[in-house]
Structure 1
Amino acid sequence: MVELNFMFFALAIPAVIFAGISKGGFGSGVAFASASILALILEPGQALALMLPLLMIIDLATLRPFWNRWSWPDARLLILGGLPGVAAGAWLYTATDADLLRLLIGAISLGFVLWHLAQSSGWIRSFATRLPAWAGLIAGAVAGFTSFVSHAGGPPAAVYLLSQKLSKTEFQATTVLTFWALNIAKFIPYAWLGMFTLQTAWANLLLAPFALLGAWLGVRAHWMLSERLFFRIAYILLTLTGTKLIWDALT
């Protein structure tokens, strides 16, 4: 049960604003930190269910500023690949327990940080040529799966999109369109699995203004804020929350 107390709002409000800024301005790459943060005080399924409607609100708020600036061929590949990934995530959810979900969310959080460190250190080089269409389908499948189990579809999608040499705005718009579609696809199995409750719905209603505020800030930050500063904060959050979730899962 989601208890709407001071501790909940102290963590949930900044987490939701952070998700809005990430999805609104920086390609959704670290928006899943919000679910990782909430999973510190909620059951993982509750954290995921609570965040999904808020992420969908952010999607709607950010579609218009980037309307028709996306690369439709790339978005189509990621969406088509993402649908079976969502189905695989739904199957895993029915076959696992809360501790394994905590372990997955924590591992994905730390994996994202390690992937970034490897890139910035030169251990992983950027792609010299564009990845082929089949790679987009695979990236979409991984994005759909990780998005279902942790709202962390951004990194696998980014691996493919970065190889396509898109502009910053094309990259952002394509990401917004892709996860707008995949989040709609996730809503159906989330509801079927009984992940939504009256408590999560009430919490969504109270947190919706903060989701919109984050989206508004993100769109403006896309043109103004230093990406380096934003992602440094994100990596610290992901490292701390990921480590705590893995510890909780194992102990």
Structure 2
Amino acid sequence: MNDALNSSLLPQFVQLTIQGEDAEKFLQNQITSDLTKLGLSYQPTALSNLKGRIDFGLWIKKQDEKHYDVVVSSDCAQSLQAHLTKYGAFSKFETSAPVAIYPCVLADEPTFSHKDDHNTAEDTRAWMQRSVATGNYWIVAATQGQFQPQELRLHQRGGIDYDKGCYLGQEVIARIYFKAAPKAFLHRVAGAGEVPAAGDKIDKIQIVNAIATDKGFEALVVARPEQLADSDLNILELPSALQVDVARPQ
């Protein structure tokens, strides 16, 4: 079996509950999404550093103004807890211990479930395949601090709100959106050979996530279009919302 399909190498995720009087106010000052606009499902979002690069790729679900559930790659959970403790020292909320949550595909969309019947390698592989196909990237420890949210098209998935107040990295993220545009950004590609790891580079093309296929691999990458044109990788389609220009609409 290809190593990329080995169950021990499949991504794992945990959920933390952030609950208390200041939960919404605190998170609103941390992440790229506007919490007041969240729906009932998990919303992709990001918690960036002061340089405007993603330290934690998150999915967030709002139970109520005092209760939020956050999903993160399990290898980032300890550093996320440390971050919440540091920045939330003077806010009134509690963070639960990480609890395992299982990636799966429901109604053709990649999501998460606490149900043990989704705790299978098949469900995780299906989630990976669907995630790569739809641009649902996931940040792991190896890619923390490497990507700017707009490079990953997070704004085209509802994960960045440019009208909300300040949050970590907001100044840099907003400047790129309103005054510039990323030269390298998210693409879906297919390639031959061994499956690259998250954070690897093929020449100057940076791997975000990759999965094995019968012919090699498919991957989400961040690259300039001209770099892909000069490579041996084949560009595959993403959903139409992620096919448009990453720059701010004029």
Higher strand share: 2
Q: Which protein has greater RCO, CA pairs closer than 8 Å, 6+ apart?
A: 1
Quickly name the TM-score band, shorter chain normalised.
under 0.3
Larger radius of gyration: 2
TM-score, with length taken from structure 1: 0.26
TM-score, with length taken from structure 2: 0.26
Higher helix share: 1
